[in-house]
Amino acid sequence: MNKMTVQDIEVKAKRVLVRVDFNVPLDEKTGEITDDNRIRAALPTIEYLRGQGAKVILMSHLGRPKGKVVESMRLGVAAKRLAQILGQPVAMAPDCVGPDVGNMVAAMKPGDVLMLENLRFHAEEEAGDVFFARALARLGDVYVNDAFGAAHRAHASVSAITEYLPAAAGFLMEKEVATLGKILENPARPFAALLGGAKISDKVGMLENIMDKVDYVMVGGGMAATFLKAKSYEVGQSLVEVDMLEAASRLMELAGREKVDLMLPVDVMVADEVSDEAKTEIVPVTEIPGEKRIVDMGPQTINNFSRELQKCKTIFWNGPVGIFEIPGFAGGTEELAKLLAGLEAMTVIGGGSTAEAVGDMGLAEKMTFVSTGGGASLEFLSGEKLPGVEALPGKK
């Protein structure tokens, strides 16, 4: 990555304002963190800065409070988990700007870590407000962006702040851009894009951009219903993005022209409802009952996908291939995750719920790379410029 990184700047004894992505999933009942991978992913940058004698000031968002204080979205839970991992106290600020926060920063010593409160409690953050960005910048001497998961947002703490402080990328940001960049520029072939999730709409741009680079596109999850519908199959009560039917047809035509093997399910698990108690059955895609919906792949589809994936040297996976939150509908996602974990190929997991699924199974460390940015990784692979990356200065 031809951008300034944290190793290119002097940080000793300086106040280093680090944008991290601690937007971690929380248990709805207990409020406890259910997956701390995003916190752990930022550790190399945090530990490096502490080792260099910097005063480390972390800022992040959590959830979508829409410019208001929401008690369940306070970042204290993330500060607590980080303190447990680091084995040292992590102070928690009452806000992310203001005199009280300024006083806490002034009292910091080299090696100290301070967590600012949820940036999105202020509407100015998502608006990219320059005055809010300047208020944040007053807390630091240097800015480091290690939040790839938020890099596709032109928010105050992501891009506007770089106008007011010397800026650089953290180690995670550097690794995300380098890994995803390799997929775009020089992937080892054969190369497969394994795609699931509910919607096709957020993946059209990426598919159009990488269609001339891949050998296989394998479609599962809810989005498979839109492709099947575009081929005039009956999909029952399955979610279909009606306004994306034309796009699905266009992508299938593009795959044909590029000689890409675009694989769709040949059999699926269907259910009468989305619940643990649902009655399920495996049916060919030509015989989906009108009153049921697709909830997972069928065994023949899993076999078809697995056979071709074993030939591949690069695999990018974004989106579960079934409703994996319900154990009875998680079989396809689990089978493919286990397969990828055992391959010699470069396996890149595209963040979001896919990363969560792989993490839940304890397989994250067996993948080549698990991205922390679902939406950001899709936009990057779509060829779009990410505001958080573009705002960082190039190497001198």
Domains and CATH numbers, the chain: 6-172 (3.40.50.1260), 179-381 (3.40.50.1260)
Residue 20 has pLDDT above 90, yes or no: yes
Mean pLDDT of 72-91: 97
Residue 170 has pLDDT above 90, yes or no: yes
Mean pLDDT of the residues in the chain: 96
DSSP label at residue 26: B
pLDDT of res. 353: 87
Residue 388 has pLDDT above 80, yes or no: yes
pLDDT of res. 147: 98
pLDDT of res. 249: 97
Share of the chain above pLDDT 90, in %: 93
User: Do the strands 113-115 and 91-92 form a parallel or antiparallel pair, or are they unpaired?
Assistant: parallel
DSSP label at residue 68: S
Write down the pTM of the prediction. 0.92
Q: Nearest CA to 378 among 320, 323, 319?
A: 319
Burial class of 366 by CB neighbour count within 10 A (0 to 12, 13 to 18, 19+)? middle
Residue 282 has pLDDT above 90, yes or no: yes
Tell me the catalytic residues: 38, 199, 352, 375
396: confidence class by pLDDT, cuts 50, 70, 90: confident
pLDDT tens for 97-123 read 999 999 999 999 999 999 999 999 999
Residue 263 has pLDDT above 90, yes or no: yes
Mean pLDDT of 72-88: 97
Starting at the edge strand found earlier in the chain, the sheet holding 113-115 runs 91-92, 113-115, 55-59, 15-19, 142-145, 167-169
Mean pLDDT of 296-316: 98
pLDDT of res. 8: 97
Mean pLDDT of 160-178: 97
Mean pLDDT of 386-395: 96
Residue 1 has pLDDT above 80, yes or no: no
User: What is the Cα–Cα distance from 290 to 21, expressed in whole angstroms?
Assistant: 42
User: What is the Cα–Cα distance from 265 to 190, expressed in whole angstroms?
Assistant: 20
Mean pLDDT of 211-233: 96
Residue 272 has pLDDT above 90, yes or no: yes
User: What is the Cα–Cα distance from 228 to 285, expressed in whole angstroms?
Assistant: 8
- H or E element that contains 268: strand 267-271
pLDDT of res. 47: 98
